[in-house]
Amino acid sequence: MSESLPKYWQSLAHRAGELPEHTRNEFADELPVGVAAVPPDASTRRDFFKVMGLSAAAAMVACQRAPVQKVIPYVARPDEVTPGLALWYASTCNGCSAQCGLLLKTRDGRPIKVEGNDEHPVSKGGVCAVGQASVLSLYDASRARFPALSCQRTAWAALDKKVAEGLKQAADASMPIRVVLPWVMGPTAEAAVKRFLTAYPTARTVRYEPLGELAAIGEAHRITHGVRVVPDYRFDHAKVIVSFGADFLGTWVSPVAFTRQYTEARDAAGKREMARHFQVEPALTLTGAAADRRFLVAPSDVTPALADLVRRLAQKAGHAVPAPAAPESQATAVPALGAMASRVSAAVASVPAPSLEEKALEELADALWAQRGNALVVAGGDDVAAQVLANTANALLGNEGTTVSVADGVALDADALSYGELLAELKAGGVGAVFFLGVNPAYADPRSEELATLLKSVLLTVASNDRLDETASLVRYHAPDATALESWGDAEPRRGVLSLRQPAVAPLHETRPLVESLLLWAGAPQPHYDFLRARWEAEVFPRAASGQTFTAFWDDAVRRGVVTLPATQVPAPAFREEGLAKALAGVARASVDWELVLYPSVGVRDGAPANNAWLQEVPDPITKATWGNQACIAPARAKALGLSDGDVVRVRSGGKTMELPVLVQAGTHPSVIAVSLGYGRTKAGRIADGIGANGYPLASVVGGHARRAVPGVVVEATGEKQKLALTQTYNRLDGRPHVREAELAEYLTNPRAGNEEHEEHGGNGKHPLSIWSGHEYKGHRWALAVDLSACTGCSACVVSCQAENNIPSVGRDEVLRSREMHWMRIDRYYEGDEANPQVVHQPMMCQHCENAPCETVCPVLATVHSSEGLNQQVYNRCVGTRYCANNCPTKVRRFNWFDYKHDEPLERMVLNPDVVVRSRGVMEKCSMCVQRVTEAKALANREGRALRDGDVQTACQQSCPAKAIHFGDINDPGSAVAKLAKDGRAFQLLEELNIGSSITYLTKIRNTGSGSET
């Protein structure tokens, strides 16, 4: 690489040393083409200043009164509610199939914040961005507020009568009744489904999942183990991890649990060893960004590459011999493994050779074989053949029972029909009833138009979706389900780990829990709570052996939110290779110009939570894009075609088309055009409708199953241009050592490896020659520490901070002006070749500098230093000069340009009363959750004790799945943050400027194998 290129770069333009077309300065008067100059009903800032003069304008903006709102006092206060004090409820997230443990914070009877449950043994206190945003979805004004008949309001009694009549008519005629529902619902919900199926003998379940990953994993295990199950993956037990397209840190299966396991396995500082991570993928993912080694392949080349790896492992297994001192059981096991290896080699022989280099495949095989029994191979996507090969690799390596456990996994419905089989039945005619329970195939499947036509001939159609979405608007009866924050339920994310979901608020609308609807339609009406409790008393309590009465056991389970049952020995099904050849028969490489990759985004996932402004505005951890999706292509391909960011292209496949702006994305295979799913909604609500393009219609259908890797698409430029709402393409830290990293072998030899500049600048962020007298702290001095090795960039902290601090979402146009309001951002830096760079993520918030440049330039002392080391922002002093933002070297201060009034009354209920809602004209920024500091000190004072380390957790810290953020009193030598500040990896940002940051970063450690044996 030329020395003129920066070591770390934020974008391709930055790497080339070019300025973007528009520098995106938030103070610029000129705006990008196609962006409205001001929001509706507002004067331009330029005209305003012309008329009023700069000084008068600043004063008027700052002195504007906050919006007047009506307040209603308590007339009769409930006994359990103390004004000003929060109540917490343990619960379970229902944002995806992972079903993580939650704590729900309520104030005055309304949920306002979601946190992770530290007692949950699977999620371990972490929450993803979608889980954090679920509290805003509770107050979504676009949710259904009542049951409907043909999209018109009706009463529950009238709807239930019609549904009962339709079911009776279908049953009497022996017509099929089909129930379309997700793969994972929870034990009690599944029991209600079984009760319904028992009441109607012609009824069968149809399992539907937009992404197809759980279905593929389950089908693969049916082939290789005889059971349809999603196994329990244990990344924390692995010393070598090889992932073929599985974004397990972002969206795959259970990313929160996997992120915590992953960081534990790679904690070099704690264990002096570190798991190695290899990633094979066609487009850069969050997991690929964290990998030590990343190999770039075409989408149709992923499965052949995995097959070749299995072939190499089989060769090694076939030649394996027991050690001289090995026990007799191991000696007899080797011939059996050799026989299996021979059959495996024969089965994979039909798979075409991959294009991945021989050297790379041999490196993967050697690394895995060296750690057999403590390695893990996973595959992403919806390709059953790839999942079968991953199972085979783990079996050859002896990983079953250590890093992957079929016995401890989540059992899937063994008798369910596929969605393709349902459509075939509907085409044949005669289906009497179809129920859609929390699924939306009319949006998230390429056969949506076909479904709309076929449903017209069905006698009874019902949907329980939370809104009149694309599917619910097609059916005759809409029975809206309550949200997870309004209803009871349970989950079993791992065998023997049962978590409860309890409501934190009564249903806000005229909705009804799905379980109650199923029981009523089955002729056995019962409240959801009663059904749940009775099932736990009959099935869970006898297994608990707690020595308590059931009432005491139940109350404790509800309080803690999770129960871990005593371990029981369950025989794991043995691996069988008989079905391998058939499963791999259709594997082929595509020789095409373009291959489309449809992938879920970290924010809106499959599109179900799309009508949530927090998730629409959180920047994608890789692309840094907000408010819509893009067509990501490789830099080399973009140059060859003359395309640049924002050029609109048309993608065609199978008669379907979509148009999207191009985003030139480093780390993308040259043959790939990658499009994130979850956008292009038409009936989600006022936030999501019309945002981006829907990629689902372009998915291919193979064997009745939708596939998200589509070979042979046609890509053509339209000649149009569309601005991308990107963040982090401005406010550069050019030439500054903002991130630091080192190789594991170097770190083990020298704890300060990669961090030598820390000592050069005086260490500890204080220059030996300073004009500052410094601050004297007689009590607490609050500080943060961020471990760059642990941070994966998942952005859960960004949404958590937004929820905690009443940070408004500003919308696409304001993001285009660089006016996003997030107090915390995740900076993503590339290093190396643009075709396949390495990536470092760095959480960035106010540095609470000891020598804060913002404090010296504020003319009204609106930003001042506290006696406990916090850089405080006094809102009622601020007159909006924005001098502080100009003088901030890390660009973490935000100016509130407009009143974000939360015009929808329901959505105002999410606001945290402990944090003021800022008005127009003031500067705001991270406060290190000073309200939480105050609350913890008050609690310690009431209990007559000193504040302990860990009593205060900032919002970003508490939600982080990786536990990469630490907060505490740095004056307390026993605190975690004080110990980390003295670590050899510790450094502060911009130490050469002597700002004295209170944020300590820890050098990122990689385990690429450089300088050490594999």
Question: Which residues lie below 8 Å from residue 866, measured CB to CB, with a gap of 6+?
Answer: 872
| Same domain as 780, residue 669 | no
Tokens describing residue 772: 């500052």
Mean pLDDT of 551-555: 93
| Same domain as 370, residue 239 | yes
Question: pLDDT digit string (tens) for 731-750?
Answer: 665 667 788 999 999 999 99
Contact 127, 115 (CB under 8 A): yes
Residue 149 pLDDT greater than 80, yes or no: yes
Phi, psi torsion values for 900, nearest 5 degrees: -95, 95
Residue 441 pLDDT greater than 50, yes or no: yes
**CA–CA separation, 153 vs 158, rounded Å?**
11
The predicted pLDDT at position 43 comes to 46
Domain assignment of residue 445, yes or no: no
- Residue 320 banded pLDDT, cuts 50, 70, 90: low
Q: 617, 638, 654: which is closest to 449 by C-alpha?
A: 654
Tokens describing residue 939: 């609690």
The predicted pLDDT at position 975 comes to 95
Residue 193 pLDDT greater than 90, yes or no: yes
The predicted pLDDT at position 361 comes to 96
Question: pLDDT digit string (tens) for 823-845?
Answer: 999 999 999 899 999 999 999 99
| Same domain as 761, residue 620 | no
| Same domain as 901, residue 826 | yes
Question: pLDDT digit string (tens) for 469-492?
Answer: 999 999 999 999 999 999 999 999
What value does the mean pLDDT of the chain take? 88
Contact 190, 415 (CB under 8 A): no
Q: 303, 301, 298: which is closest to 283 by C-alpha?
A: 298
Domain assignment of residue 704, yes or no: yes
What's the domain range around 607?
590-721
Amino acid type, 840: V
**CA–CA separation, 392 vs 387, rounded Å?**
9
Question: pLDDT digit string (tens) for 647-700?
Answer: 999 999 988 999 999 999 999 999 999 999 999 999 999 999 999 999 999 999
Bridge partners for 783 per DSSP: 968
Out of 683, 698, 721, pick the residue that ends a domain: 721
| Same domain as 640, residue 737 | no
| Same domain as 735, residue 656 | no
The predicted pLDDT at position 1013 comes to 42
Place of tokens 């998200």: 708
Domain assignment of residue 678, yes or no: yes
The predicted pLDDT at position 327 comes to 44
The predicted pLDDT at position 759 comes to 61
Out of 721, 756, 774, pick the residue that ends a domain: 721
Q: What burial class does residue 20 get, using C-beta atoms within 10 Å of its C-beta: 0-12 exposed, 13-18 middle, 19+ buried?
A: middle
The predicted pLDDT at position 992 comes to 82
Residue 76 pLDDT greater than 70, yes or no: no
- Residue 112 banded pLDDT, cuts 50, 70, 90: very high
The predicted pLDDT at position 735 comes to 63
| Same domain as 771, residue 715 | no
CATH of the domain at 257: 3.40.228.10
Question: Which residues lie below 8 Å from residue 90, measured CB to CB, with a gap of 6+?
Answer: 101, 102, 103, 104, 117, 119, 500, 502, 558, 559, 560, 561, 562
- Residue 501 banded pLDDT, cuts 50, 70, 90: very high
CATH of the domain at 640: 2.40.40.20
Place of tokens 């505490």: 968
Strand, helix or coil for residue 436: strand
| Same domain as 766, residue 702 | no
- Residue 63 banded pLDDT, cuts 50, 70, 90: very low
Question: Which residues lie below 8 Å from residue 384, measured CB to CB, with a gap of 6+?
Answer: 216, 219, 220, 223, 583
Mean pLDDT of 556-567: 92
- Residue 340 banded pLDDT, cuts 50, 70, 90: confident
Tokens describing residue 956: 């970003």
pTM: 0.92
Total residues belonging to the chain: 1014
| Same domain as 763, residue 657 | no
The predicted pLDDT at position 306 comes to 97
Question: pLDDT digit string (tens) for 257-307?
Answer: 999 999 999 998 877 789 999 999 999 999 999 999 999 999 999 999 999
Amino acid type, 413: D
Say how many domains are in the chain. 3
| Same domain as 791, residue 671 | no
Mean pLDDT of 520-527: 95
Question: Which residues lie below 8 Å from residue 146, measured CB to CB, with a gap of 6+?
Answer: 153, 154, 480, 509, 510, 511
- Residue 906 banded pLDDT, cuts 50, 70, 90: confident
Domain assignment of residue 566, yes or no: no
Mean pLDDT of 981-998: 90
Out of 721, 752, 778, pick the residue that ends a domain: 721
What are the distances in angstroms from CA 192 to CA 176, 186, 479? 19, 10, 16
Contact 501, 91 (CB under 8 A): yes
| Same domain as 712, residue 738 | no
Residue 156 pLDDT greater than 50, yes or no: yes
The predicted pLDDT at position 53 comes to 40
Domain assignment of residue 149, yes or no: no
H or E segment and range at residue 204: strand 203-207
The predicted pLDDT at position 359 comes to 94
| Secondary structure letter of residue 300 according to DSSP | G
Sheet holding 965-969, edge to edge: 965-969, 782-787, 999-1002, 986-988
Question: pLDDT digit string (tens) for 966-978?
Answer: 999 999 999 999 9
Domain assignment of residue 959, yes or no: yes
H or E segment and range at residue 708: none
Residue 530 pLDDT greater than 70, yes or no: yes
User: Which spans in 750-879 are helix H?
Assistant: 756-760, 796-804, 812-816, 853-857
| Same domain as 698, residue 839 | no
- Residue 1003 banded pLDDT, cuts 50, 70, 90: very high
Q: What is the CA radius of gyration of the chain?
A: 29
Domain assignment of residue 1002, yes or no: yes
Residue 729 pLDDT greater than 80, yes or no: no
Domain assignment of residue 366, yes or no: yes
Residue 332 pLDDT greater than 50, yes or no: no
Question: pLDDT digit string (tens) for 1-56?
Answer: 344 556 776 777 766 666 555 454 544 444 444 444 444 444 444 444 443 443 43
CATH of the domain at 785: 3.30.70.20
Tokens describing residue 980: 């980390």
